[in-house]
Amino acid sequence: MEDITYKKVSALVERWLEVHKGETFDLDLICRQLQITERENRHFVVQKLSYEVQAGKLEKSNRIYRYINKDKEYINWYDSEVEQTINIQWPKGRDGTKFGFDGYVCISPGDIIVVAGVSNMGKTTFAQNFLWENMDNYSCVLMGNEYTPVKFKRRISRMTWNNPIDENGKPKFDLIRRLENWADIVEPDKITIIDWIALPANELYNIGHVIQGIQSKVGNGVALIVLQKDEASSLGRGRAFSEELSSLYLTIDKGRITVRKAKEWFNHNPNREIYGFDIANGGVEFRNIKPLVKCFSCKGSGQIRGGECCVCFGEGYIEKTTKESEINF
């Protein structure tokens, strides 16, 4: 009779483990979910789990068990086409100026682009211009946590250089309100723009896992993820965890954008380059895009001897073409 009972309990545990692959658990959790309360039957669960540990299917640390997932996903690299990239069109100045990484950054299927910016300094302008430049060539989805129908329509009505409505009278993109669990609704092979991801302060370290979840769903598409950035920080909230999986990482501060990381590029390496810009037309247009360098006089601080730098006028940056000999003191 005992042997029969053990076999029944063992079968229940096997089915439970199959469903909960990749999870961690303890004895109380599995017994509670299997509704096993009798001491003898709990002992049978312990026996079965011990057997699975000895068989190399489970790992036990203190009281915690972990299912060992030995599934392998083989990457068929030898049939891939090295020329396969996504012809991303980047936001441009409506006066004909361009960001210097345009035409040089290499974006491949499955890549993640991160734009981390200080509040109200151009993150949404970049995200929506990115959409406007690509919605004619790719299926695009824009997820937002602050968009409302009236405000969104009023804003894009000023983006007159492209028509967001197709020949059938339908939007060229999907607009979705989303506040959490973004990966759950990411569709493969599309351009997904998330403006923006907000995590509680005590969960910022999870941003890497959030980005990984999104990347696992994009397939042959691309995701552009917008994050908040503190003024004093060189990275978005979540810091290094927000950068690890990105193929392109841009930071936006007041009036300037920095190429923090470009993993692949053509002909010219844009890493660490900085570009100044103006925002016009109610916050929807870039203008006067130009390369910048740190001011040679104040070394980027904007201050000299406690006062405003007279070379950069307190900005900390000057146009790259400006030479020290051209400054009139």
| CATH number of the structural domain spanning residue 149 | 3.40.50.300
Domain containing 56 — which CATH number? Answer: 1.10.10.10
If one counts the domains in the chain, the total is 3
- Domain end residue (candidates: 67, 98, 118): 67
Same domain for 135 and 226?
Answer: yes
The answer to whether the beta carbons of residues 257 and 129 sit under 8 Å apart is no
DSSP 123-180: HHHHHHHHHHHHTTTS-EEEEESS--HHHHHHHHTT-TTS-SB-TTSSBSEEEEE--S
How do residues 10-41 score in pLDDT, each as one tens digit? Answer: 999 999 998 888 789 999 999 999 999 999 99
Q: pLDDT band at residue 171, thresholds of 50, 70 and 90?
A: very high
Q: Taking a C-beta distance cutoff of 8 angstroms, is the pair 193, 199 a contact?
A: no
Give residue 2's pLDDT.
58
What's the token pair of residue 116? 């981390």
pLDDT tens sequence across 249-300 = 999 999 999 999 999 999 999 999 999 999 999 999 999 999 999 998 898 8
Residue 77 lies in a domain: no
- How many beta carbons lie within 10 A of that of residue 230, not counting itself? 13
Question: What pLDDT, on a 0 to 100 scale, did the predictor assign at position 21?
Answer: 82
**What is the β-pairing status of strands 191-195 and 64-67?**
unpaired
Q: What is the dihedral of CA 134, 245, 122, 90, to 10 degrees?
A: -30
Q: Is 111 in the same domain as 242?
A: yes
pLDDT of residue 260: 95
- Domain assignment present for residue 241? The answer is yes
Where in the sequence is the domain holding 109, given as residue range(s)? 86-290
Does 212 share its domain with 261? Answer: yes
Note whether 234 and 128 are same-domain residues.
yes
- Do 231 and 269 lie in a common domain? yes
Q: Are residues 160 and 274 part of one domain?
A: yes
Query: Which residues, 6+ apart, have CB-to-CB distance to 263 below 8 Å?
Result: 106, 246, 247, 248
User: Strands 140-144 and 112-117: what pairing?
Assistant: unpaired
Q: What is the pLDDT of residue 327?
A: 44
Same domain, 166 and 305: no
Q: Higher-confidence residue: 156 or 312? A: 156
User: Which two three-digit tokens encode residue 189?
Assistant: 């092979």
Same domain as 129, residue 91: yes
Nearest to 192 by CA among 158, 226, 240: 226
Say whether pLDDT at 152 is over 90: yes
pLDDT above 50: residue 117: yes
121 and 264 fall within a common domain? yes
CA 247 and chain centroid, separation: 10
Q: What angle, 0 to 180 degrees and rounded to 10, lies between the N-to-C axes of helices 2-19 and 39-54?
A: 60
**Six-digit token string for 33:** 């979910």
Q: Give the span between the Cα atoms of 130 and 99, in whole angstroms.
A: 12
Per-residue pLDDT tens digits for 301-327: 889 888 999 898 888 899 987 444 344
**261 & 155 share domain:** yes
Q: Is residue 73 part of a domain?
A: no
Cis status of the peptide bond prior to 196, with omega within 30 of 0 = yes
Higher pLDDT, 64 or 74: 64
Q: Decide if 75 is inside a domain.
A: no
Are 75 and 52 a contacting pair, CB within 8 Å? no
pLDDT of residue 68: 84
Q: pTM for this one?
A: 0.77
Q: What is the pLDDT of residue 6?
A: 85
Average pLDDT of the segment spanning 215-230: 95
Average pLDDT over residues 121-136: 96
User: CA 193 to CA 51: how far, in whole Å?
Assistant: 47
Residue 220 pLDDT greater than 90, yes or no: yes
* Structural domain includes residue 78: no
Q: Are residues 111 and 37 in the same domain?
A: no
- 323 with 238, same domain: the answer is no
Q: Give a yes or no: residue 165 inside a domain.
A: yes
